[in-house]
Homo-oligomer: A and B are copies of this chain.
Amino acid sequence: MPEQSKVIHARDYRWEGVPLKAYKTDGTHFRAITRQTLLGADEDERALGHQTRYFEIAPGGYSSLERHQHTHTVVILRGQGELILGDALHRIGRHDCIYIAPQTFHQFHASGDEPLGFLCIVDRERDRPRLPDDDELARLRALPGVGPKVRT
């Protein structure tokens, strides 16, 4: 079957026909995250080398603190948060665009009253995330700004 172009209509941060999944990866640590894979899931849109996912983190929730060789392109769609990115802590908000380079530790935190929702684009073929080892964790926890935000 040939590739089919399509429009996926959105309403209130849900996309028509796209399943809402609890985000879970064995061995990672996270809280209160959902995922919708908008384009490039499994056998869909094979001409696409990348996947477009929408993640939403409930207020007070956070993503796994991890790094990997593959990159992330992130665009925030709603809410506010803080991002551990390498050795720095950034405030992030609507439409901010984030590049996560290879092997950069990162962790998203939803702050404020609204969920933190963002698009995250990744290569279809990618390596598994790595959690920090004890030395890396100790180093991150000692960083000003970053340290108090670290969740594992």
A residues at B contact (CB < 8 Å):
2-10, 13, 15, 38-40, 45, 47-50, 52, 71, 73, 75-77, 83, 85-86, 90, 92-102, 104, 106, 119, 121, 123
Contact = CB atoms under 8 A, between A and B. Distances in A.
B47 A71 contact: yes
Given A10-B94, A39-B73, A4 B101 contact: yes
Contacts of A102: 3, 47
Contact of A101 (B45, B85, B99, B100): B45
A9 B83 CA distance: 13
A97 B13 contact: no
User: Helix, strand, loop or mixed for chain A's interface?
Assistant: strand
A92 B85 CA distance: 34
Given A5-B104, A83-B7, A73 B97 contact: no
Contact of A96 (B8, B95, B104, B123): B8
A97 B49 contact: no
A97 B8 contact: yes
A121 B50 CA distance: 9
A44 to B, nearest CB: 8
A98 B52 contact: no
Contacts of A101: 2-5, 45, 47
